Amino acid sequence: MDDEWRLGETGFGADWSHEMVFADEVAWKREDLVTGMVEFLRTLPGVTAVEHVDREAVVISAAAVPTGRLSAAVRRRWEEAKQERPPWMAAMDRAARTVEGLTGFQRDGWQLTRVVDSQLSHVINLDHWNGREPGEHLIVVEAYVRLELPDVHPHSVLRYSGDLDDAVLLGEVITGRLRPALEPLTSVDAMLERWHGHESIEEAGRYRLPEIRLHARVLVSRGRLAEARDLYQIDFERTQPSHRPYLLQRLAELGVPALTTGSDPQLSVTEEATLTAWHTSTLPLTDRLRDLTGMRLDGARKSLDELWAWLRDSRDRLQREFAEVAPTLAMSYYGVLAGGTDAGHAPRDPWYRVTAELLTAYVGEVVIAQAPGTVWGIGVNGELALIRRSGTGLLWRVLAIVHGAFGAPIEEFDPHQLRRLSDDMLRWVNADPTSQVWITRTSA
Return the pLDDT at 372: 95
- Eight-state DSSP code of residue 392: E
**pTM of the full structure:** 0.82
Which helix (H) or strand (E) segment holds residue 393: the answer is strand 391-393
Return the pLDDT at 107: 98
Tens of pLDDT along 50-96?
999 988 999 999 999 999 999 999 999 999 999 999 999 999 999 99
Residue 438 has pLDDT above 60, yes or no: no
Return the pLDDT at 284: 92
Q: Read off the pLDDT band of 1 (50, 70, 90).
A: very low
Q: Read off the pLDDT band of 443 (50, 70, 90).
A: very low
Residue 444 has pLDDT above 50, yes or no: no
Tens of pLDDT along 286-334?
999 999 999 999 999 999 999 999 999 999 999 999 999 999 999 999 9
Annotate 5-64 with three-state secondary structure.
EEEEECCCCCCCCEEEEECHHHHHHCHHHHHHHHHHHCCCCCCCEEEECCCCEEEEECCC
Q: Rounded CA gap, 96 and 376, in Å?
A: 56
Helix residue ranges, H only, 322-413: 341-344, 350-370, 395-402
Helix residue ranges, H only, 55-113: 67-83, 87-103
Q: Rounded CA gap, 126 and 346, in Å?
A: 39
- Eight-state DSSP code of residue 430: T
Average pLDDT over residues 187-207: 95
Strands 384-387 and 375-379, sheet pairing: antiparallel
Backbone angles phi, psi at 344, to 5 degrees: -65, -25
Question: Percentage of residues in the chain with pLDDT exceeding 90?
Answer: 83
What Å distances lie between residue 304 and 125, 243, 286, 308, CA to CA? 57, 36, 12, 6
Name the amino acid, one letter, at 87: P
Return the pLDDT at 405: 96
Return the pLDDT at 207: 95
